Chains A and B, each alone.
Chain A
Amino acid sequence: MEAITIHEGTTIPLMNNNIDTDQIIPKQFLKNILKIGYGKHLFHDWRFLDDGRPDPKFILNHPERQGATILISGENFGCGSSREHAAWALKDWGFKIIIAGSYSDIFFMNCTKNGVLPIILPLEARKKMASISSKETITVNLPQQFVECQDEKYHFAIDSTWKQKFINGTDDIDITLNYSDKITEFEDSLPSFS
């Protein structure tokens, strides 16, 4: 997993509440058996017109927003389906950071597995970040847990284990396999009714 420590980037605001994973990546793109290549389908139904052309009104298509790495959004981001394709699509498009009011529990966990950092900040801070120009950058400092936007610093909370995972870019399975003996011991203690 790609590590994140300090990141500076431009933004895309999508301030709707309850943006569900069906919108982030519609089901017709879940048939692939790879983890890559979903970025071109990110927000497909909002991003493309019926004839397949990009909708010039949708912010992801604005030329001046290309290259943005930080998504600013509303409450309950990533609700609905557990599809990790949503996190893969955001990452593949180029987003490294999401700043929302809250996240669905499953989506949050999927982000922790893919080096997409989900930050929670109150509406006031997000409104400020949503109002800056497409050229202005904001800075996320994960070790010190703050986001800097136009000389204002907004502190955010994050569980210390997930924080270290992002900073080190560690693979969970390798860590867990170190506990193999404990897992075996646990399995030996399980009741059996067969």
Chain B
Amino acid sequence: MGKTLFDKLWEKHVITGKPGEPQLIYIDLHLVHEVTSPQAFEGLRVNHRRVRRPERTFATMDHNVPTKDIFNIQDTISLKQIETLKTNCDEFGIRLAEIGSADQGIVHVIGPQLGLTQPGQTVVCGDSHTATHGAFGSIAFGIGTSEVEHVLATQSIWQLKPKTMGIHLHGKLQAGVSAKDIIMALIATYGVDFGTGYALEFYGDTVDRLSMENRMSICNMAIEGGAKMGMMKPDQTTFEYIKGRKYAPKKMEEAIKYWQQFYTDSPADYDKVLEFDVSNLAPYISWGTNPSMSVPISSKLPDIADMNFQRAYDYMDLKPHMAASAIPIQWIFIGSCTNGRLADLQEAARVLKGHHLAKNVTAWIVPGSRTVKNEAEKLGLDKIFKEAGCEWRDPGCSACLAMNPDKIPAGIHCASTTNRNFEGRQGKDARTHLASPAMVAAAGIHGHFIDIRQKEVI
């Protein structure tokens, strides 16, 4: 019997423990941000412990930062949390990409961008979207603050080995359909907990053709399907992406040779396999209050299946059987660890170029990092966005979780390139509709979603 990518990575990282019981796993890369770390550092301090491997730890500020003017933090509690991270990093000797630094940005954007994220690694962060890094062929997952403290102190973590699920993505995407639509369609089809207890691996000819940015968008949302880990085997696309980045291996050829051992021997080795043909996939939008409450743009909203659906319809102020394209959109948000990379902004700019937002639509474009912002400006994307009537902002998590000043007002329907449409996620009583960057951009122009496969409507 062969082994899966996940099995090979897991075995390489077990320090101690038997299969079937919690095992102690070594952590190669620990990413840290201001919200889920202060109590962990405090725990170290109280117990007179140190950070075992500061050089395997990297911190940034993203959740709390304002993006209208990143240097102007009005909220004193946010400021305290941000200052606490700086103090902690200084005290424990951890690299920090702070506000204003060229490397600052959303933690899951900067890890890959700096070349910190590499195939064959284990990566953790106190954030559920850590699976993003799995796109490089690594075991990457979100952890709680007690686990953050544990990893800081021991560079390791106790975990029960999850089962493996192979998700075979095959077929060619139609023009206008994106990686975001694939993961949204999977979650809409199989539910918000189909991946609970599993490490997902996405594979197949569809994946082989995707860029790293697109691969990251898929792995990023594994958690929305219940899986804390989502991954893809490293290939030439992966290696090319890493080459030349700030923290890429110096001995790149040796590294590639090592990384090439990480692949699944045969689909028969997974505990479970899902087959998913993407060739007839339509762009997806979410209508409800969890990511599985999503439909193809060409369809109507579903019946009220149970009390959970009723609650979602009430919250969203929508009715069953209305056309997905009829949902009014008053706000668009483009950014986040799901879709805040340069390729995502390019996609949105391609749609917005030469157009203007509908009269009643507000638009925030929030680059995922300072580097993304600089690169986008070099390409003139900021001008396209501004000419279309959008606000071009500083890098951060922004209105994806709205724990900073960036909040969508109550009652507003916001088309958003983010990952969660929970009640209140983007602001109290705000109504989130998840979609791809191109779909969100087009919704901004029209004031409602359109099927961007039909080019003439843009």
Contacts and interface: CB of A to CB of B under 8 A. Distances in A.
Interface of A: 16-18, 20, 22-23, 26-28, 30-35, 45, 75-76, 79-85, 87, 102-106, 109-110, 113-114, 159-162, 172-173, 176-177, 179-180, 182-183, 186-187, 190-191, 193-194
A81 B81 contact: no
A82 B423 CA distance: 17
B164 interface: no
Given A75-B193, A76-B226, A84 B422 contact: no
A161 B127 contact: no
A19 to B, nearest CB: 10
7 contacts: A45-B423, A79-B192, A81-B127, A84-B144, A106-B223, A110-B147, A176-B150
B190 to A, nearest CB: 13
B308 A179 contact: no
**Chain B interface size, under 10 / 10 to 19 / 20 to 34 / 35 or more:** 35 or more
Given A84-B36, A84-B126, A193-B251, 10 more contacts: A16-B311, A20-B422, A23-B423, A27-B402, A32-B77, A81-B401, A82-B127, A84-B144, A87-B144, A172-B158
Nearest to A103: B196
A172 B75 CA distance: 35
A193 to B, nearest CB: 3
Contact of B422 (A80, A177, A187): A80
B17 to A, nearest CB: 9
Contact of B42 (A33, A193, A194): A33
B197 interface: yes
A79 B226 contact: yes
A186 B196 CA distance: 30
B128 A16 contact: no
A193 B290 contact: no
Contacts of B286: none
Contact of B64 (A31, A84, A179): A31
Interface string B133-162: 000000001111111011001111010101
Contacts of B81: 31-33
B351 interface: no
Nearest to B258: A191
B51 interface: no
A22 B424 contact: yes
Contacts of A31: 35, 64, 75, 77-78, 80-81, 403
Interface string B181-211: 0000000000011001100000000000000
B250 interface: yes
Given A26-B424, A30-B35, A45-B428, A186 B26 contact: yes
Contacts of A162: 22
B424 A183 contact: no
A180 to B, nearest CB: 8
A110 B144 CA distance: 6
Contacts of B149: 173
